[in-house]
Amino acid sequence: MSMQKTDDNRVKIFDTTLRDGEQSPGFSMNHDEKLRMAAMLEELGVDIIEAGFPIASQGDFESVRAIAKQASDDVVIAGLCRASVNDINRAWEALQYAPHARIHTFISTSPVHMKYKLRMEPEAVLEAIHKSVSHAASLTSDVEWSPEDGTRTDPDFLVDVVKTAVEAGATTINVPDTVGYLVADEYAELIKMLLNNVPGLEKCTISTHCHNDLGVAVANSLGGVAAGARQIECTINGIGERAGNASLEEVAMALQVRGDRLPYWTRIDGTKLVRASQMLQSITGFSVQPNKAIVGANAFAHESGIHQDGMLKNAQTYEIMTPESVGWQKTNLVLGKHSGRAAFRNKLEQLGYGDIGENAFQDAFVRFKDLADHKKDVTDEDIIALVDDSAGDQEAAYTLEDLKIHSIVHGVARVDVSVAARSEVHTVTTEGNGAVDAIFKGIKQATGQDGQKLDLYQVHAVTGGTDAQAKVTVRLSQDGRSVSGTGADYDTLFASARAYIHALNKLQASERRVHAHHDSAESGGEAA
């Protein structure tokens, strides 16, 4: 018998990829990437998108505002803020454009956080909660409140702080397992304890926010739902601080596949999960491991003879869901060099990229024709790599204009690299130990940016075959900031140059954010 979908058993999905996910080292995204990701999350059926932490920097503020402006009526846009009137006002300034906006405010409540991080007495924390939640509630009727490190908070004090937030007007109460400490039934018991002891809590939505330090974030989130929570905070691919957050795709599919044990439903369209995951991998340059549930390359691969035999007889022998139900494509219709603009546009629409801007479309089409001249079959994976690589970047300080490899003699390569900085093109000739070294040196010289350290250089083949496109990831760090860039091309050296420049552009953008943040810190801000 199929489950009745009612308001009582609906679980809202609160995605924090763009806030908790984006704030972990190397995962920073530029403005355009965040907008693309937000549009994808909306298409996926996410109920609430936490778009950022508006007071953290001018860049964060602008991204939250732009995401609020592009949001439809179907989604709520949330912004994070500490328990301060300044933070809350700044968040509201960005969020007010959304058809539905939520202020999410938090403060630490565990003994260790209050003593060492906040240096505040419990009474002062209670007062700050009352003041901040009341202020947020005076701006909007949708206020979420979180006790940071809630799961290591003294239970009696947790009851007091939640009571204070509910009385002050919070409509969603989040229970963060900030350090991913709880196991098995503990998290569910904590939620039951709050429901039994906080008057009025049953009128609020209770939310889970589980980190994955012990690898049980998804299990704890599901336990929380069984205990009464009706919102799960999670991220695509489980990205987030340290070991990450509960993974959206795992939570969504667990609820979909195991409706018999977990009689709850979400609005997530499972068939878009792989695309959302791959978009994030492409933007951040962090691939998921092959055995990652749902979205890993091997999640539906059957290698051993016994398994293959079983699968041929009946797929249910070894599959609890179909690959198509989570968005893996069965047919991979191939385009060739005779395919025109209309066929290419049609293919982009099928792949869910129908709304890329005209400039990105033209750029991707030119690159597709070029690729088709060099590669026999252009597959869906090739096209996705091209489009992701061509997506516009308004903040880009540099673009690759040209690259020429002159010679490689006894391993020493000589190259010409041309980079445009705004409208001026700089061309330099450099030598290095191999072509990649020479190209990276050339980019540093042409841009005058040489303070960055190369932490990772990685090449993946987008498809099989010796004519496969290369997808290169470059990770750079400078002054404690770490960013990843990606580039795709049938020529590995071009892909490498594109990836380096993509990362350099992100580093420049993050430097602007740090400067803007220092300016805002001087005028009363401070990051979480």
**Residues of the shown chain interacting with ligand KIV in the complex, contacts defined by CB under 6 A:** 20, 106, 146, 148, 174, 176, 178, 209, 211
Q: Between residues 148 and 437, which has the closer beta carbon with respect to ligand KIV?
A: 148
CB of 108 to Zn ion, least distance (A): 12
Q: Which residues pair with 398 in a beta bridge?
A: 421
- The single-letter code of the amino acid at 421 is A
> What is the nearest approach in angstroms of ligand KIV to the Cβ of residue 240?
8
- Selection from Zn ion, ligand KIV, none that 90 binds (CB < 5 to 8 A by kind) is none
In the complex, residue closest to Zn ion by CB? 20
- Sheet strands side by side (includes 470-478): 453-461, 470-478, 481-489
Q: Among residues 20 and 87, whose Cβ is nearest to Zn ion?
A: 20
For residues 147 and 432, which CB has a smaller minimum distance to ligand KIV in the complex? Answer: 147
Residue 398 interaction partner, one of ligand KIV, Zn ion, none, beta carbon < 5-8 Å per kind: none
- Amino acid letter at 292? K
Binds 489, which of Zn ion, ligand KIV, none (CB < 5 to 8 A, cut-off by type)?
Answer: none
For Zn ion, the closer of residues 20 and 363 by Cβ is 20
Which of 69, 24, 27, 25 has its CA nearest to residue 49?
69
Q: If you count DSSP H runs as helices and E runs as strands, how many of each does the chain have, helices first?
A: 16, 14
For the chain, the first-to-last Cα distance in angstroms comes to 47
In the complex, minimum distance from the CB of residue 177 to Zn ion, in angstroms, rounded to a whole number: 9
Task: Tell the smallest beta-carbon distance from residue 219 to Zn ion (Å).
Answer: 17
Beta bridge partners of 421: 398, 424
Tokens 């190209």 -> residue: 439
Closest contact distance (angstroms) between CB of 126 and ligand KIV is 18
| Smallest gap from residue 146 Cβ to Zn ion (A) | 9
| Residues with Cβ within 8 Å of residue 306, at least 6 apart in sequence | none
CA distance 388 to 486: 9
Minimum CB distance to ligand KIV, residue 211 (Å): 6
In DSSP terms, 429 is beta-bridged to: 416
Report the SS3 class of residue 107: strand
87 binds, among ligand KIV, Zn ion, none (CB under 5 to 8 A by kind): none
Burial (CB count <10 Å: 0-12, 13-18, 19+), residue 333: exposed
User: Which residue, 181 or 265, is less far from ligand KIV as judged by CB?
Assistant: 181
The region of 17-25, 161-169, 314-322, 452-460 touching Zn ion under the rule CB under 5 A is 17-25
**Minimum CB distance to Zn ion smaller for 152 or for 272:** 152
Of 208 and 390, nearer to ligand KIV (C-beta) is: 208
Closest CA to 16 of 79, 100, 105, 74: 79
- Core vs surface per residue 243-277: b (16+ CB within 10 A) or e: ebbbbbbbbbbbbbeeeeebebbbbbebebbbbbb
423: region left, alpha or beta (phi > 0 left; psi from -120 to 50 alpha): alpha
Provide the minimum distance between the beta carbon of 80 and ligand KIV in the complex, in angstroms, as a whole number.
6
For ligand KIV, the closer of residues 17 and 178 by Cβ is 178
Q: Which helix (H) or strand (E) holds 495?
A: helix 492-522
Instruction: Tokens for 64, please give them.
Output: 């939250």
Bridge partners for 175 per DSSP: 208
Residue 35: Cβ within 10 Å count: 20
What sections of 45-154 are H helices per DSSP?
58-70, 85-95, 111-112, 122-139
List the structure tokens of 100: 């539905």
Minimum CB separation of residue 124 from ligand KIV in Å reads 19
Residues paired with residue 247 on neighbouring β-strands, in sequence order: 235
Amino acid at residue number 468? A
Q: Please list the alpha-helical segments (H only) found in 294-340.
A: 305-313
Residue 327 and residue 40: Cα distance in Å, rounded?
14
Please count the other Cβ atoms lying within 10 Å of the Cβ belonging to residue 184: 11
Nearest CA to 79 among 159, 160, 4, 139?
A: 139
Instruction: Name the binder of 270 from ligand KIV, Zn ion, none, CB < 5-8 A by kind.
Output: none
Query: Residue 368 half-sphere exposure, CB side, CA atoms within 13 Å?
Result: 31
**Exposure of 471 in the CB half-sphere (CA atoms within 13 A):** 25
- Residue 20 or 437: which CB sits closer to Zn ion? 20
| Partner whose footprint covers residue 106, from ligand KIV, Zn ion, none (CB < 5 to 8 Å by kind) | ligand KIV
- Counting contacts by CB under 5 A, is residue 249 touching Zn ion? no
Using CB under 5 A, which of the segments 16-24, 327-335, 457-465, 510-518 binds Zn ion?
16-24
From Zn ion, ligand KIV, none, which one binds at residue 146 (CB under 5 to 8 Å depending on kind)?
A: ligand KIV
Nearer to ligand KIV, 142 or 148 (CB): 148
| Residue 492 interacts with which of Zn ion, ligand KIV, none, CB < 5 to 8 Å by class | none
At closest approach, how far in Å is the CB of 232 from ligand KIV?
13
> Which one, 20 or 381, has the nearer CB to Zn ion?
20
State the nearest-atom distance from the C-beta of 438 to Zn ion, in Å: 42
Which CB sits closer to ligand KIV, 57 or 447?
Answer: 57
Query: Measured from the CB atom, is 164 or 496 closer to ligand KIV?
Result: 164
Q: Which stretch binds Zn ion (CB under 5 A): 15-23, 246-254, 363-371, 434-442?
A: 15-23
Residue from 11, 12, 18, 20 in contact with Zn ion (CB under 5 A): 20
Q: How far is the CB of 106 from ligand KIV (least distance, A)?
A: 4
Binding segment (CB under 5 A) for Zn ion, from list 12-20, 22-30, 318-326, 384-392? 12-20
Residue numbers of the site for Zn ion (CB under 5 A)? 20
